Amino acid sequence: MILVMNKKHGVGCSVLAYNLGRLFDLPIYVNKDSFMLDEEYSANFEHVSMRTGAIKHGIYDIGANFEKYNKKFIHNAKLIIIPFEYGFESMIETIKTLKYIEFASSRKIPTMLVLNRLDKEDKERDFNYTQSMKELFNENGIRFSNIFNKNDTGNLYLTYLRNSYGLQSNLESGEYFMDKMYDKKYISDALNNLDGFRKEKNMFDYRFFLHIASQIIEQVDYRNEEIYIPDKDMVMFRNSFVGRYVNKFYPNLERGLESDLDSYFEKNRGVAKSSSLNSLINKTYAHSKEKKLIKDMAYIGFLVDVLYENKKVV
């Protein structure tokens, strides 16, 4: 069970829960008042169900609805995700949410804070805001952990999400951010029907996404840490993404994708193979305005995968 929650309304719980649920092929549970259950939209959300008091496998959009059975949910959660924004009220409510989780469960549940809707046009402003934000958390006894530090026994991780409009775009039609960028004829019709790729693990979208993200990450020189002054953890992650994670837990990922592409086009000779996998990625994704979103979602996806499965990166 993964919970997405914050006492503060309107910080992105629903869109993050939906996109992560789709990315990881998890059942998605929402409050009975969610627009995704409205008669007008419900046909577009086959992965979404109304949440009840029952404990089930999946991702739960708790949002700001702290109802009577939330303590039970928190007690059984394997991972909690808390989106929030800059601003005093948002941070105060986020701190209250963290205190509530601590009150509701005696164990340390892996918890990810997602600083949402960043505007990186003014790096100086964002840097100052982030520093003051961390000071406010520190004053309340909240310390962030670093997943790459083998001696770090904490449970709270901080990440960032820019261009998050890309998560919300087309949501009412039941599409998540990867759907928005898919070439429907090429990706959906061809790649999603690759039996050989699905045999090993039924998470095609996530594994393909990992490969896209790693290709994009390799195109930028992240040794220049001034690119993201406040995002030291993200720079560290991206510098070691391919070698320390993708290759370790998903060996031969690129070779498997290429092989399945070849098999598909061999079976469907009428379909012209216009490019290699990497050329396709470069054409479809690498120069897209969604690049920052893919990079940030790669880090968020990485943390979800590692923390939920308890795979400590070494």
The string of pLDDT tens digits covering residues 49-65 is 998 888 889 999 998 87
Mean pLDDT confidence for 148-158: 79
- ∠ CA 9-90-157, nearest 5°, is 100
Q: Quote the pLDDT of residue 196.
A: 45
Of 311 and 108, the structure prediction assigns the larger pLDDT to 108
Q: How far apart are CA 111 and CA 92, in angstroms?
A: 17
- ∠ CA 8-301-281, nearest 5°, is 125
The burial of 152, by beta-carbon neighbours within 10 Å (0-12 exposed, 13-18 middle, 19 or more buried), is given as middle
- 236 CB contacts (<8 Å, ≥6 apart)? 146, 148
The model's confidence at residue 175, banded by pLDDT at 50, 70 and 90, is: confident
In percent, the amount of the chain with pLDDT more than 90 equals 17
- What is the residue-averaged pLDDT of the chain? 76
Structural domains in the chain, CATH included, are: 2-167 (3.40.50.300), 178-309 (no CATH)
Structure tokens at 286: 């690498």
- 105 CB contacts (<8 Å, ≥6 apart)? 71, 74, 75, 77
Sign of the torsion angle spanned by Cα atoms 235, 236, 239, 241: negative
Q: How far apart are CA 279 and CA 102, in angstroms?
A: 48
- Is-contact 182 188, C-beta < 8 A? yes
